Amino acid sequence: MGKTLFEKIWSAHVVREMPDGSSLLYIDRHLVHEVTSPQAFEGLRLAGRRVRRPDLTFSTMDHNVPTTVDRLTIADPVSRAQVEALQTNCDDFDIQLYGLGDAHQGIVHVIGPELGQTLPGLTIVCGDSHTSTHGAFGALAFGIGTSEVEHVLVTQTLVQRKPGTFKIDFSGRPGPHVFSKDMVLKMIGLIGTAGGTGYVLEYGGEAVQALSMEARMSICNMSIEAGARAGMIAPDETTIEYITRDERPFAPRGEALDRAMAYWRSLPSDADAVFDRTLTIDTGTIAPQVTWGTNPGMVMDIGQPVPEPDAVPGYSREDVQKALDYMGLVPGTHLTDVDLDVVFIGSCTNSRIEDLRQAAAVLDGRRKADHVDLLVVPGSEQVRRQAEAEGLDRIFKAAGAQWRFAGCSMCLGMNPDQLRPRQRCASTSNRNFEGRQGKDGRTHLVSPEMAAAAAVAGRLVDVRTWLET
Amino acid sequence: MQPFTTHTGLVATLSRSNVDTDAIIPKQFLKSIKRTGYGPSAFFDWRYTADGQPDPDFELNQPRFDGRSILVTRNNFGCGSSREHAVWALAQDGYRVIIAPWIERNGQRLPAFADIFRSNTAKNGLLAIELAESEVETIFKSVANQPGLEASVDLAAQEVTLLTPDPVRFRFEIDPGAKEQLLKGLDAIDLTLAHADDIHRFERDHDTWL
């Protein structure tokens, strides 16, 4: 019987099978950021331990950093202490840091691929659930807790139980103005926020094969919102083209690249490989998606009304009512009739150059509604420079947007970019949890194009018909 | 790490599905570089009113739950962010055990706990117990009917006993690695370092970019 992409990478990284049925797995890349690492480094110091492979460990500052022009001086003393702690830890343990002010600083899941650290066939971990993003390259990448961060720093391994395999096939092609964000939101709505728990997802099918690397990253990024620690896409010519661009300093070159490519081409799941579960989604039937509730599984087509509390499969009446109360919505409402206060374009889900190009194409020659604050936050400093070289920043500013420096920003509001209570936001981020973007803030997850159109209209619109009129 | 063998304590209920780690410990508390001090901030946004007083409408603030150490809740607890701060907050707020149900949807079994959260619990002496939906429903009803209801948990025997007048016993499954780690309070890094030779040998033959 053939092997899946996941099984090939897993078996190539087993250091030792443990008596209890788990495996000691070797980790090829460890990405570190300021929020989930300080306690791990403190553990190392207390035990007198060293970082085993500083050469495989990379670090950046993203969650806490201000995105305004005065970002280098962090006003919040607690945020500043955390950022300074990472600087000290990287200095003390000899770890490469792309810190605040560095040309490559940015969201950890944006800069890893940009720098060529993210490659097919690798095991990649980070103390961050959206590490699943890197699976877009055909890597096995997953989020870990701080105890596991410490474990990887010291041993370059993790003890893991082998998850199941779940193939998601997106057949056909998406209609106009339907993006990978809509595909993954649709999938989460279908299988639920725990539907992937215990599995590694592999995305395939015609619609996935046709996606750019940026779009693939958006899908894999949100695997965790379906409960799956990892999501993967088989490497192909699109992957190789992305990796072999000139600006990726850590990607292999020359003879090393030839050997790597031969290996990468052996990774896709074999034709006779068997998955534990499979699901086929007809991509052609997917409409632009928008969340109405307080988790990413509470999602619907843009044209649908907000559901009745007892009409949502997989959720109790009590849970739906709590979500509607929090969101300030009543059943039957069309979200296209509800005013927005804020539009956020950014996050590790949708802050790459292609996302910004899509938003800029909608905003070009238009202006945001007066009552809406529009925030555009590039995922990395490299993305920011590229966007400015293409003139996208001028389009955003002319549309009335705030054009910022790189960071996680309003996806989780650990920096000053937060919603105020009861503000309603169309957001390209990944989580519409209660309080996620700011205490009592209300989040509707959408694609970058939908977010840009919403900023102009002042409320959510069906971008397919709105752009035609 | 504090070992977990047996525990008897007051049971509190939180009837919500999909409780995410943002709800368990909101963002502003993630700026700390310490491992302690999170307890009073557990469920912060639900627990306190805008002026910082305990919100009487939050289930877990009921006086009858004062001193609770066993939390019974609904499916997919701990979803979302990987933040181990969520587990630190629960453990430091006095919880030793969390019980939630697996459920069935579209013929699939959906686990009680999110993967990363569950993995974090075992490393911090917090026992996550998965029961059937009907069993958890029984606990919810018993707690509603009997203020002060306690339960007793025996990890070695993999049993929860609800200390009702006529005690009800539930058996639970647990990952053998997590069980061992909890029972002995083992340091996972020490355990792995015992295999340092294997890691060294693996590294010698392994291309970390290939």
Domain CATH number, residue B61: 3.20.19.10
A-B CB pairs within 8 A amount to 199
What percent of chain B clears pLDDT 90, i.e. is strictly above it?
95
When CB atoms are compared, the residue of B28, B79, B192 closest to A151 is B192
CA distance, residue A216 to nearest chain B CA (Å): 20
Report if residue B84 sits inside a domain: yes
Q: Give the residue on B whose Cα is nearest the Cα of A225.
A: B80
**Cβ neighbours of A295 in B, within 8 Å:** 18, 20, 79
Question: ipTM score here?
Answer: 0.97
- The model's confidence at residue B1, banded by pLDDT at 50, 70 and 90, is confident
Suggest the residue from B32, B79, B87 to mutate for an interface test with chain A (most A CBs closer than 10 A). Answer: B79
Judged by a CB distance cut-off of 8 A, whether residue A412 touches chain B is yes
Judged by a CB distance cut-off of 8 A, whether residue A38 touches chain B is yes
Q: Give the residue on A whose Cα is nearest the Cα of B199.
A: A15
**Residue B136 is part of which domain span?**
6-205
Return the structure tokens found at B186: 């083992």
Number of domains chain B contains: 1
**Cβ neighbours of B76 in A, within 8 Å:** 193-194, 197, 227
- Per-residue pLDDT for B180 more than 90? yes
What would the mean pLDDT of B111-134 be, rounded to a whole number?
Answer: 97
Report if residue B183 sits inside a domain: yes
DSSP track, A215-228: HHHHHHHGGGGGT-
| Contacts of A306 by beta carbon, 8 Å cutoff, 6+ apart | A292, A324, A329, A330, A331, A332, A333, A334, A335
Report if residue B13 sits inside a domain: yes
- Per-residue pLDDT for B119 more than 80? yes
Say how far apart CA A374 and CA A366 lie, in whole Å: 13
CA distances from A334 to A1, A301, A307, A330 (A): 50, 11, 10, 9
pTM: 0.98
When CB atoms are compared, the residue of B75, B84, B198 closest to A194 is B75
Amino acid at A102: D
Give A 197-256 residues with CB within 8 A of chain B.
197-198, 224-225, 227, 229, 252, 256
Q: Give the residue on A whose Cα is nearest the Cα of B29.
A: A414
Q: Do A145 and B114 touch (CB under 8 A)?
A: no
Judged by a CB distance cut-off of 8 A, whether residue A143 touches chain B is yes
Other CB atoms within 10 A of residue B131 CB = 21
When CB atoms are compared, the residue of A39, A192, A436 closest to B110 is A192
B5-19, B38-52, B195-209: range with lowest mean pLDDT: B195-209
Q: Do A194 and B26 touch (CB under 8 A)?
A: no
- Per-residue pLDDT for B208 more than 80? no
Say how far apart CA A423 and CA A425 lie, in whole Å: 7
What would the mean pLDDT of B55-79 be, rounded to a whole number?
Answer: 98
Say how far apart CA B2 and CA B124 lie, in whole Å: 7
Q: Give the residue on B whose Cα is nearest the Cα of A89.
A: B33
- Per-residue pLDDT for B209 more than 80? no
What is the per-residue pLDDT for B84? 98
Amino acid at B16: R
What is the per-residue pLDDT for B106? 83
| Contacts of A438 by beta carbon, 8 Å cutoff, 6+ apart | A410, A413, A418, A419, A420, A421, A423
Say how far apart CA B124 and CA B88 lie, in whole Å: 7
Q: Do A229 and B175 touch (CB under 8 A)?
A: no
Q: Give the residue on A whose Cα is nearest the Cα of B194.
A: A155
**Cβ neighbours of B133 in A, within 8 Å:** none
Say how far apart CA A290 and CA A243 lie, in whole Å: 32
Mean pLDDT by 10 residues, chain A (469 residues): 96 96 97 98 97 98 95 92 97 97 97 98 98 98 98 98 98 98 98 97 98 98 98 98 94 94 97 98 98 98 97 94 98 98 98 98 98 98 98 98 98 96 98 98 98 98 93
What is the per-residue pLDDT for A29? 98
Report if residue B36 sits inside a domain: yes
- The model's confidence at residue B72, banded by pLDDT at 50, 70 and 90, is very high
Other CB atoms within 10 A of residue A125 CB = 27
Report if residue B100 sits inside a domain: yes
Mean pLDDT of chain A: 97
**Cβ neighbours of B30 in A, within 8 Å:** 35, 63, 414
Say how far apart CA A173 and CA A183 lie, in whole Å: 11
Report if residue B1 sits inside a domain: no
Report if residue B210 sits inside a domain: no
What is the per-residue pLDDT for A228? 98
Which residue spans within B63-199 are E strands per DSSP? 70-72, 97-105, 108-110, 127-132, 150-154, 159-162, 168-171
Report if residue B151 sits inside a domain: yes
When CB atoms are compared, the residue of B31, B196, B209 closest to A252 is B209
Tell me, rounded to whole angstroms, the distance of Cα A120 from its chain centroid: 18
**Cβ neighbours of A265 in B, within 8 Å:** none
